[in-house]
């Protein structure tokens, strides 16, 4: 939804990750729904998502309908299909377990993503379904509860699997790739205080390792 807007935040390079400056509004909880979706590069795929998001909002506000747009972080879990461009954690774990080569593109491998387990996301859907609201928008991701950089994810996967990753680094980053993204779920939690996270990033990776049969996945 926000295109490459997050890349213009005041980011600081740390040992294993990029992080937002500690004095910034987004430091404590992550990026909230106030971030602009305008004047930013989305990709055509991203633009189609944004168009759908706005239409859902408009139906809610114009016709007084109970609608919601969930702006998700990285969705993952043990059933996530591990492929090069999708399923970041599942694909990374597959490469560690099988010895398959993995490529890191840009930002020194310190780019950060929040990852939300499918159970926690569907549980959020369930809470909204029980008490829907009109024309709502929520950022929904792993937040400060469940996030990691690529380097940190590699280290955790290696520790869990007991193997080293076969990887290479390319200086050029993918176009529009986020340097740092952590979702602020404060708004959703305030509307649905009965919802909370069940999984953190380490829990997710352990479950992927234990439940995914990588030898059967091409």
Instruction: Please state which CATH number belongs to domain 5-216.
Output: 3.40.50.720
Residues 31, 143, 165, 91: is their CA dihedral positive or negative?
A: negative
Q: Provide, rounded to the nearest whole percent, the portion of the chain with pLDDT above 90.
A: 86
Would you say the C-alpha torsion 102, 108, 113, 117 has a positive or negative sign?
A: positive
| The token pair that represents 213 in the structure block | 């049969």
Would you say residue 149 has pLDDT above 70? yes
pLDDT at residue 213 greater than cutoff 90: no
**Domain locations in the chain as residue ranges:** 5-216
> Which tens digits make up the pLDDT trace of 94-142?
999 999 999 999 999 999 999 999 999 999 999 999 999 999 999 999 9
Cα angle: 45, vertex 70, 59; to 5 degrees? 85
Provide the angle, in degrees to the nearest 10, between the axes of the packed helices 88-98 and 150-161. 40
> How many angstroms separate the CA atoms of 180 and 203, rounded?
21
Distance CA 87, CA 19 (A): 23
Is it the case that residue 218 has pLDDT exceeding 90?
no
Q: What is the mean pLDDT of residues 188-213?
A: 95
The residue behind tokens 């937040």 is 143
The token pair at 2 is 């926000």
Q: What is the 3-state secondary structure (H, E, C) of the chain?
A: CCCCHHHHCCEEECCCCEEECCCCCCCCCCECCCCCCCCCCCHHHHHHHHHHHHHHHHHHHHHCCCCEEEEECEEECCCCCCCCCCCHHHHHHHHHHHCCCEEEECHHHCCEEEEEEHHHHHHHHHHHHHCCCCCEEEEECCHHHCEEEHHHHHHHHHHHHCCCCCEEEECCCCCCCCCECCECCHHHHHHCCCCCCCCCHHHHHHHHHHHCCHHHCC
CA-CA distance, 86 to 91, in Å (whole number)?
8
pLDDT of residue 137: 98
- Average pLDDT of 13-37? 98
Stretch 198-209: mean pLDDT: 96
């Amino acid at each position: 939804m926000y295109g490459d807007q997050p890349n213009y935040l005041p980011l600081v390079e740390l040992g294993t990750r990029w992080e937002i400056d500690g004095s910034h509004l987004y430091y404590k909880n992550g990026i909230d729904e106030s971030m602009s979706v305008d004047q930013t590069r989305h990709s055509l795929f991203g633009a189609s998502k944004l168009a759908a998001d706005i239409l859902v909002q408009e139906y809610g506000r114009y016709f007084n309908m109970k609608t919601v747009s969930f702006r998700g972080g990285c969705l993952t879990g043990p059933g996530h299909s591990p492929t090069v461009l999708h399923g970041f954690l599942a694909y990374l774990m597959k490469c560690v377990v099988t010895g398959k080569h993995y490529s890191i593109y840009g930002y020194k491998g310190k780019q950060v993503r929040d990852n939300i387990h499918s159970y926690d996301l569907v549980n959020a859907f369930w809470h909204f379904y029980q008490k829907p609201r009109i024309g709502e928008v929520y950022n929904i991701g792993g937040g400060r509860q469940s996030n990691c950089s690529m380097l940190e994810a590699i280290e955790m996967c290696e520790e869990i699997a007991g193997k080293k990753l076969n990887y290479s680094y390319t200086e050029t980053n993918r176009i529009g790739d986020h340097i740092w993204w952590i979702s602020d779920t404060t708004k959703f939690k305030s509307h649905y205080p009965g919802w909370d996270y069940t999984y953190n990033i380490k829990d997710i990776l352990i479950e992927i390792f234990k439940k995914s049969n990588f030898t059967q996945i091409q």
